[in-house]
Amino acid sequence: MRGFSVPFVRALAALCVAFALPATAQEADPRWSIAIHGGAGTIARENMTAEQDAAYRAALQQALDAGKAVLAGGGDALDAVEAVITRLEDDEKFNAGRGAVFTWDGTHELDASIMDGRTRDAGAVAGVTGIRHPILLARKVMTDSPHVMLAGKGAEAFAAEQGLELMPPEWFDTDARREALERMKAERLSALDVDIKFGTVGAVALDSHGNLAAGTSTGGMTGKRWGRIGDSPLIGAGTYADNRSCAISATGWGEYFIRVGVAHEICARLRYDFRIAALEEQLGVPRDADGLPEYIIHASELALDAEIAQRAADDVMDEVKALGGDGGIILVTPEGHALFSFNTSGMYRGRATSDGVDEVAIYADE
C-alpha cells in the first residue's frame, strides 16, 4: 500500500464496496407502485367509438386492479406483473395470448419475458404456439430451468413437462386479426399498415419489499415469417428489471427496440445517474484531519426524482424515433415513480401507487 495512507485506502475500499453492493430488497416499506400497457400506436379519438373506448378502459382498469390487489396485500412484484399480464393475455382486444396477430402462415407464434429486479433472474419464450399464458411459461423458464430463453418446439416440450395450460389453435383466433392478415396479403401492405397499433401487453411493479419486476407478452407483428422474433421476449430490449435502477416493459416496432436495447439502455442510464449523483454528493462531505471524507454516501441513499427518470426514458425513445421506429415504454423506479414514454398518438396504459394514483389512459393528450 506504499504511496497511499491507510485511511485513504479504507475510505476508497468503503466507496468501492458501497458501489459494488448487490441489489437487495430494502426494509419493508408499505410503498408500492405499478404501471401497465396494452400497446402503443396510431390510436386516435376519432377512430374509436365510445363503446370501444370504454371497453379498453375497463379492460385496463381490471388488469390494473389485479396487480394493485397483489401489491396492496404485501405481495411480490413478480406476482403483480403476472396477475396483470395473464388477464390481458386472455383478453382478445390485445395482441397477446388470445387475440394474438396471425403469422404469414396463419398461425400464432407467441413471445413473452419476465425479469426479477432483485436477483436479475429472467425467463423468456419465443415463437411458441398453443400456450394459453406465455408469461407463465417465461416465469417457469426463469424458476425451473437452467436457462433464460427457450424457443419454438423445445419451449413447448418444456411447457408440457411443466404442466402449462394448452389451448387449441382456434382459441387464439379472432376475426379482426384474420382480416388484418388477409388485407395485408391482398393489398400488399406492411404490418404497420394493418396493425396500426401495437397490442403487446406488459407490466412493471415495485412491491412493498422494495423489489422491482417487469414482464411483457405479445403475438408480435401481423404477417411475421421466417421465425421472426421481436423485442418483447428479449431481456434488455422489451423487458428489463434491476432494483438498482428501474423496471421497463416496451411495446412498438420491435426491430428498432432491439437495435437500441431500449429497456436496458434506460435502466443503465438511471443507474449511472445514481452514481454520478452519489459522487457529486460525496464531494460535499466534510473532511477529517487527513483531508478524507468523514463518511461515504451510497448511491442507494439517494432518490432520483421523476423528472430524471422521465428524461432518461424520453431520450431513449427519441433514439428509437431517430432511427425510424415508434412505440412506447412503461417504467417504475425504486422510489415508486410510475411513468410512461411514447412517441405515438396513443398508448393503452394505466398506473397506480400506494400514494393514491390510480388511472388508465389511452390518448397522448390525457
Residues that bind ligand ASP (CB under 6 A): 39, 95, 198-200, 218, 220-221, 230-232, 251-252, 254
Q: DSSP label at 172?
A: G
CA–CA distance, 81 with 172 (Å, rounded to integer): 22
| Alpha carbon of residue 186 to chain centroid | 35
Cβ–Cβ < 8 Å for 125, 134: yes
Rounded to the nearest whole angstrom, what is the least distance from the CB of residue 248 to ligand ASP in the complex?
13
By C-alpha distance, which of 193, 242, 251 is closest to 222? 193
Using the minimum distance from each CB to ligand ASP, give the nearer residue, 86 or 200. Answer: 200
Which of 86, 103, 200, 344 is labelled catalytic?
200
By C-alpha distance, which of 83, 124, 89, 123 is closest to 108? 89
* CB burial of residue 110 (10 Å; 0-12, 13-18, 19+): buried
Here the cell at position 96 is 397477446
Using the minimum distance from each CB to ligand ASP, give the nearer residue, 67 or 199. Answer: 199
Using the minimum distance from each CB to ligand ASP, give the nearer residue, 66 or 88. Answer: 88
Q: Is 49 annotated in the active site?
A: no
Using the minimum distance from each CB to ligand ASP, give the nearer residue, 130 or 220. Answer: 220
* CB burial of residue 262 (10 Å; 0-12, 13-18, 19+): buried
- Active site positions, annotated: 200
